[in-house]
């Protein structure tokens, strides 16, 4: 397979606490994202943060990985709802966790098999692998009927 590169650019004006930035993704798939220190540490008020963007990357990657594991195992998902909540500890100055929550509808699959598929997906998800060893990544998965 080919190697893919994706680029995002941020333009920042001002100091850390009072300044503001704009994140632009070169694909054009979404509009510009305003970002501020306050949106990162206090309130979002319609702005994003690096952690929210990591959460978006993690949840979308994990859903793709799990979808693939399920289909390859003969149980394609009817639906998967995957969220990631990324925690930034401003006191430590680091991201500490990306908590994944998965709710899946997979016809013909029991919970034990679903949990095993989730574990396999977590090990194969490229974003999980990029984050591994740097923060906690608990996964809460449940199979819905």
30-39 pLDDT, tens per residue? Answer: 889 999 999 9
Give the C-alpha separation, 85 to 123, whole Å: 18
Half-sphere exposure of 97 (CA within 13 A, CB side): 8
pLDDT for 43 equals: 87
Looking at the predicted structure, is the pLDDT value of residue 1 above 90? Answer: no
Neighbours of 101 (CB within 10 A): 15
Dump strand ranges (E) for 29-109: 33-35, 79-89, 94-105
Half-sphere exposure of 135 (CA within 13 A, CB side): 26
Looking at the predicted structure, is the pLDDT value of residue 9 above 90? Answer: yes
Looking at the predicted structure, is the pLDDT value of residue 2 above 90? Answer: no
pLDDT tens profile 110-145 = 999 999 999 999 999 999 999 999 999 999 999 998
Q: Specify the pTM.
A: 0.92
Sequence ranges of the domains in the chain: 8-41, 50-143
Parallel, antiparallel or unpaired: strands 20-25 and 139-143: unpaired
pLDDT tens profile 77-123 = 999 999 999 999 999 999 999 999 999 999 999 999 999 999 999 99
Q: Of the candidates 105, 114, 102, which has an alpha carbon nearest to the alpha carbon of residue 140?
A: 102
50-143 CATH pick, 3.30.300.20, 3.20.20.70, 3.40.50.150, 3.40.50.720: 3.30.300.20
pLDDT for 145 equals: 81
């Amino acid at each position: 397979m080919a190697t893919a590169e994706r680029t995002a650019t941020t333009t920042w004006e001002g100091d850390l606490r009072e300044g503001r930035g704009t994140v632009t993704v070169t694909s054009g798939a979404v509009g510009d994202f305003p970002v501020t220190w306050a949106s990162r540490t206090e309130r979002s008020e319609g702005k994003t943060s690096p952690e929210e963007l990591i959460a978006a990357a993690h949840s979308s990657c994990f859903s793709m990985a799990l979808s693939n594991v399920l289909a390859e195992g003969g149980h394609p998902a009817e639906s998967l709802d995957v969220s990631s909540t990324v925690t930034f500890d401003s006191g430590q100055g680091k991201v500490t966790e990306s908590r994944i929550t998965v709710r899946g509808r997979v016809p013909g699959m029991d919970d034990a098999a679903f949990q095993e598929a989730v574990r396999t997906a977590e090990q194969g998800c490229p974003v999980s692998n990029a984050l591994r060893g740097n923060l906690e990544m608990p996964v809460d998965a449940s199979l819905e009927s």
